[in-house]
Amino acid sequence: MAGRGDPPDGTPEGTPEGPQGDDEYRSVVFDESFVRAARLQELSAHERMTDREHAVRARPRHPGPVPGAFRNGPRQLLALFVLIALAFGTAVYLGFRQPYRAPGASAPALPLRMTVVPLVPARTVEGGTPAALLAHSPAARFGSGGVGIRLPAPARTDDFSRGQVGAALNLVKAYLVASSLDRDVLAGRDRGAVRRLLAPNQTAQFDRSFAAPTADGLHDPAGWLVSFDAARVRQATGDVRVRGSLAFQETADQALEVTSDHTFVYALRPAGPAAADAASLFTVRRELRFRFDREHLARGQVQLVESEVGAGPEACGTGAGKAFAPLLAGARPPAGGPRGVDPFATGHLAGALCGVLATAAP
- Reported as type and span, the H/E element at residue 362 is none
User: What pLDDT score was predicted for residue 358?
Assistant: 78
Rounded Cα distance, 185 and 228, in Å: 9
The whole-angstrom separation of Cα 311 and Cα 273 is 25
Residue 184 confidence class, pLDDT cut points 50, 70, 90: very high
Q: How far is CA 353 from CA 2, 106, 121, 172, 319, in A?
A: 120, 35, 15, 28, 10
DSSP bridge partners of 243: 263
* Mean pLDDT of the residues in the chain: 81
Does 183 have pLDDT greater than 50?
yes
DSSP E strands, 32-185: 40-42, 56-58, 113-121, 143-144
Answer yes or no: is pLDDT of 193 > 70. yes
Using alpha carbons only, give the angle 236, 190, 315 rounded to the nearest 5 degrees: 55
So what's the pLDDT on residue 76?
76
Percent of residues, the chain, with pLDDT higher than 90: 56
258 pLDDT above the threshold of 60 = yes
